[in-house]
């Protein structure tokens, strides 16, 4: 028999449903993802730290879960919301049900929610704090718990999902790259390796001098959760990395940190960009890419004026900044996730562009 559960938003909107995954309570920021599949990659993406994710696709769980599609050592999101959870699953790669995977990862889920209504509510009123509970169904006692939880703005969540010490991800490649881990997805590291990069991953607060002393061919700033302006230590380190002249590539939070280090500003989006269907225009080629995205903050385009950077990519839905390139330094970054490949190969050229910078550095006297 299904166990009743509720989802309560901080404005009092109540969504009844049934518990699946780990029973109990979870508090976080509400958001939605429009991807039709890839729920396991979404659940294990560290960029969702502190959030409760609703899937807009009506049925979730029909292909189960496996160990190959995990993007991080431990999921950081707080809860998972679906319209219909499929208890039956069928896929040759499946190792267990989604329900069993959520229980193992201690993630609260709720099914039977009117996710169409929930998504429209968030789009109209903006992302807000919420709670999932199967232990207490009374809105009067749940609402104070939501209101006591922290707002996403001002939170440094990267420090909570970064690695604790440096580690070697790949070896015996042409280029030596050091990657800052702000919540890096494993597939990004795999794509860098496929681009002939030997990748060493370092914690988010590693001093720039310590990294540069290793004489890398290139540097990478990863994706990650939270408010980019709150990751002040990374912003200061990045200023030094940019000044060094070593090629630098950033994705998602890495893009925002590079922009902040150059003197730009960031702001919180009303409800964020999360899904595998975001159209992005490359202003240098006039090509449109279908991209995967997961971010709740963006770079203020007006704050880029007067800085030595060009806006290289824009989002065709709302014209927000999706990419920048430095005019004088080998530095570039994108807001979206080229490694997720929803196109499926629309954005793969970015890793090749990075290796061009690396090759130029190795061959220039």
Report pLDDT digits (tens) over 190-209. Answer: 999 999 999 999 999 999 99
- Model pLDDT for residues 140-177, shown as the tens digit of each residue: 999 999 999 999 999 999 999 999 999 999 999 999 99
Catalytic annotation present for 106: no
Q: Given pLDDT bands bounded at 50, 70 and 90, which one contains residue 341? A: low
- pTM of full prediction above 0.85: yes
158-363: what CATH class? alpha beta
- Count helices and strands in the chain by DSSP H and E runs: 10, 19
Q: What is the pLDDT of residue 362?
A: 81
84 and 57 Cβ atoms separated by less than 8 Å: no
Catalytic annotation present for 163: no
Contacts of 107 (CB under 8 A, 6+ apart): 21, 22, 26, 43, 75, 77, 78, 79, 80
- Spot the catalytic one: 41, 71, 252, 313: 252
Is the dihedral angle over the CA atoms 122, 128, 133, 139 positive or is it negative?
negative
Region 331-343: what's the mean pLDDT?
A: 84
Contacts of 75 (CB under 8 A, 6+ apart): 43, 44, 48, 105, 107
Phi then psi for residue 311, to 5 deg, are -80, 120
Q: CATH 3.40.50.880 occupies which residues in the chain? A: 158-363
Secondary structure (3-state) at 20: strand
Catalytic annotation present for 273: no
Q: CATH 3.50.30.20 occupies which residues in the chain? A: 4-147
Q: Please say if the pLDDT value at position 238 is more than 90.
A: yes
Spatial distance between the Cα atoms of 144 and 138, rounded to a whole number of angstroms: 11
4-147: what CATH class? alpha beta
Spatial distance between the Cα atoms of 97 and 344, rounded to a whole number of angstroms: 26
Secondary structure (3-state) at 129: strand
């Amino acid at each position: 028999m299904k166990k009743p559960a509720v989802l309560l938003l901080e404005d009092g909107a109540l969504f009844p449903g049934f518990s699946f995954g780990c029973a109990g309570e979870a508090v976080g920021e509400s958001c939605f993802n429009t991807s039709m599949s890839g729920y396991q990659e979404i659940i294990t993406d560290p960029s969702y730290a502190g959030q409760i994710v609703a899937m807009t696709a009506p049925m979730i769980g029909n292909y189960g879960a496996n160990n190959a599609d995990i993007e991080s050592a431990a999921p950081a999101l707080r809860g998972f919301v679906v319209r219909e959870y499929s208890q039956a699953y069928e896929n040759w790669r499946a190792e267990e049900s989604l329900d069993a995977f959520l229980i193992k990862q201690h993630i609260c889920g709720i099914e039977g929610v009117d996710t169409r209504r929930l998504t429209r509510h968030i789009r109209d009123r903006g992302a807000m704090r919420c709670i999932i509970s199967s232990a207490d169904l009374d809105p009067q006692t749940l609402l104070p718990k939501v209101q006591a939880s922290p707002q996403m703005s001002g939170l440094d969540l990267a420090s909570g999902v970064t690695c604790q010490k440096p580690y070697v991800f790949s070896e015996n490649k042409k280029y030596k790259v050091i990657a800052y881990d702000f919540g890096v997805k494993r597939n990004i590291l795999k794509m860098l390796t496929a681009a002939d990069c030997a990748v060493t991953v370092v914690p988010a607060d590693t001093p720039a001098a310590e990294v540069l002393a290793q004489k890398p061919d290139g540097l990478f700033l990863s994706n990650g959760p939270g408010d980019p302006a709150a990751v002040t230590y990374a912003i200061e380190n990045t200023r030094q990395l940019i000044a060094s002249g070593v090629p630098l590539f950033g994705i998602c939070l890495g893009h925002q940190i590079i922009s902040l280090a150059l003197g730009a500003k960031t702001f919180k989006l009303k409800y964020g960009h999360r899904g595998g269907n975001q159209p992005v225009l490359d202003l240098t080629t006039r090509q449109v890419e279908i991209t995967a995205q997961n971010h709740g903050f963006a770079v203020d385009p007006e704050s880029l004026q007067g800085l030595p950077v060009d806006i290289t990519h824009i989002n065709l839905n709302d014209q927000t900044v999706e990419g920048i390139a430095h005019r004088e330094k080998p530095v570039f970054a994108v807001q979206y996730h080229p490694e997720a490949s929803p196109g499926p190969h629309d954005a793969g050229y970015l890793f090749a562009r990075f290796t061009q910078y690396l090759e130029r550095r190795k061959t220039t006297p």
